[in-house]
Structure 1
Amino acid sequence: MRKTETIASLKSAKGERRLTMITAYDALFASLFAEEVEMLLVGDSLNMSFLGEPDTLSATLDQMIYHTRAVCNGAPASFVVCDMPFGTTNTKEEALANAVEVFRRTRADAVKIEGGASRAELVRHLVDNAIAVMGHVGLMPQSVRSEGGYRVQGRDEESFARVIADAKAIEEAGAFSLVIEGVTPELGRAVTEAVSIPVIGIGAGAETDGQVLVWSDMLGLFEAFKPKFVKRYMEGAALVKEAVRTYAQEVRSGAFPAEEHCYR
């Protein structure tokens, strides 16, 4: 099936149209999202949203491949990006072997790798071997434990300059796009202006080339906490609870199943 977006079309979108990306982890929700957004991200956030873990570090390569296969099956025309999980890109050789495994076992269009200038040669190695790479700079969830928590970047001159340098290094290494997370709006704008590839923001202000959100956050299904950068487009948890409550009440009262739900 012909893809609705390609690397070429995404790169050409810079300065012309805003790009939208949303996480997806299964075929059902991927099929619901597919017609509305340019990209689907199979994020390692799945273990926070759906396994109840405190961070993303527990996601494995096999998990990411399983969920990426599901998303590709549910949205075969969508541009799908697979997060490379923690511990799978420690060396160029390891990163290439694991990214090749993703490409062999799924129909993903690209992988996403966290890290800046220190990962540039690794990104270049993948790109040179036919693996499309989306970068990820700014706040990096896979570094949360070593950083001592989730720390917004760009509030001081040092981190401001470092993130811009990281973005430029990842672009020069051949990434077709990058995510920038958890930075001040001023830094989000500066990075967007500093590189010629699309910059997709999450908690990075409104002046990036596009936005990405975790679907369970934006639909109000994840109640444990609500990050400052998230806008809830519906109160999903309340709607689900009300539907289940009505179902349970109807079963207990005998109203369900009714005649129209019975075989004759």
Structure 2
Amino acid sequence: MPYVQADNSGGLEKKITVHTLQQMRGREKFVMVSLYDAPMAAMAQKCSVEAVLIGDSLGMTVLGYDSVIPVTMEQMIYHVEAVARGNNKSLIIGDLPFMTYATPEQALSNATRIMQAGAHMVKIEGGAWLADTVRMLSDRGIPVCAHIGLTPQSVHKFGGFRVQGRDQERADTLLSDAKCLNRAGADLLLIECVPAWLGTAITQASDIPVVGIGAGSDTDAQVLVINDILGLTPQPPKFSKNFLEETGNIPGAMQKYRDDVKAGVFPSEVHTFS
């Protein structure tokens, strides 16, 4: 039975670092998958997926919650450790869960725990208000992926999982947030569920690699949750695609996703917002 045991041989030839992704920007799109365990992490390495994200989406995809709000640091650490055991080449990014980075000092303490569990970078959600936190983490050697747009930890504030930035005022705010987080020292920027034109504008205005999910095809990289790639989501979002349906096997689905991102085939117009 393939991929029951984590096998970290093959696939990526060299370890992917923040510097690797920076060098790829503008030359070749890179690929990210949000996943949660050692077997899938090993498969990502074999499929030459440059970055893996242990997202707090595990609250909904693995633990059965109706949002990401209940996810704890202990749960995140557990899954980061599992992914790190299965993959020693991809860049590993760990989410900081809800209300674990409300202050820069709290962020530093919890980011330290995620990094010690095996992550190479932490991800935090929010706009310009995070600048001091990003700066503190960056100054202390902790790489940061800043997440703007639809930020699932703010789902109750948004009133649901809604596309962000469709009106000009909100779009201007998101563009301003992106520039502020760039200046503060973020190493990656993830934008979720915004109109394709806004994804393009933010990417062009950024000095760091931009990862999109439901943000159009012009970002430097794409990320999808493994459950969406494998068609396991009962009501899949518009920006996702079931690659398992097309390939018939799990390794093939991940490889197809990776290849389609590299070729610029995914996302297509049907997976983007206007």
Task: Normalising by structure 1, report the TM-score.
Answer: 0.86
Letter in 2 for 1:10: L
Shift of 1:50: 1.4
Query: Which position in structure 1 is the counterpart of 2:93?
Result: 81
Deviation at 1:35, TM superposition (A): 2.7
| 2:236 pairs with 1:226 | yes
* Alpha-carbon distance in structure 1 between the residues aligned to 2:133 and 2:151: 17
Q: Deviations over 1:158-179 (max 9, x none)?
A: 1110111111111111111111
Aligned length: 237
- Secondary structure of 1:179's counterpart equals strand
Letter in 1 for 2:75: Q
* Cross-structure match for 1:157: 168
SS in 2 for 1:34: helix
SS of residue matched to 2:141: coil
User: What letter is aligned with 2:222?
Assistant: Q
- Summarize the alignment of residues 199-218 of structure 1 with structure 2, pairs less than 5 Å apart: 199-218=210-229
Stretches of structure 1 lacking an aligned partner (at least 5 in a row): 241-264
Matched, 1:134 2:145: yes
* Per-residue deviation, 1:190: 0.3
Q: Structure 1 residues 5 and 239 mapped into 2: Cα distance closer, same or farther (>3 Å)?
A: closer
Whether the aligned pair in 2 keeps the contact of 1:168 and 1:194 (CA below 8 Å) is yes
- What is the RMSD of the two structures over their aligned residues, measured on CA atoms? 1.8
Distance 1:24 1:239 in 2: 17
Which 4+ runs in 1 deviate beyond 3 A?
none
Contact 2:15-2:88 within 8 A present in 1 as well:
no
Cα deviation per residue 1:46-102 (whole Å; 9 max; x = unaligned)?
A: 110112211111111111111000000000222100011001000011000111111
Tell me the distance in 2 between the aligned counterparts of 1:212 and 1:201. Answer: 6
Query: In 2, distance between residues paired with 1:3 and 1:57?
Result: 36
- Measured after TM superposition, the shift of residue 31 of structure 1 is 0.5
Contact 1:34–1:40 (8 Å) recurs in 2: no
Task: Pick the aligned partner of 2:107 from 95, 100, 113.
Answer: 95
Q: Any stretches of 5+ residues in structure 2 without a counterpart?
A: 1-7, 251-274
1:9 Cα deviation after fit: 1.2
Question: Partner of 2:188 in structure 1?
Answer: 177
Aligned counterpart for 1:189 among listed residues 188, 192, 200: 200
Partner of 2:66: 54
Amino acid aligned to 1:41: L
Distance apart, 1:231 and its partner CA? 1.0
Which deviations, in whole Å up to 9, do the C-alpha atoms of 1:108-143 show, x marking residues without a partner? 100001011011111111111111101101111000
Match of 1:246 in 2: none
Q: SS of 1:235's equivalent?
A: helix
**2:42 aligned partner:** 31
Identity %: 46
Rounded to whole Å, the distance in 2 between the matches of 1:91 and 1:48 is 26
2:17 paired with 1:6: yes
Distance (Å, rounded) in 2 between the aligned partners of 1:38 and 1:60: 26
Contact 1:30/1:71 (8 A) holds in 2: yes
Contact in 2 for aligned 1:3/1:79 (Cα 8 Å): no
Q: Supply the distance in 2 between the matched residues of 1:198 and 1:120 (Cα, whole angstroms).
A: 18
The answer to whether residue 175 in structure 2 is matched with residue 168 in structure 1 is: no
Equivalent position amino acid for 1:226 in 2: P
Larger Rg: 1
TM-score, L = length of structure 2: 0.83
Q: Deviations over 1:14-67 (max 9, x none)?
A: 111101000110111111111321000000001101122111111111111110
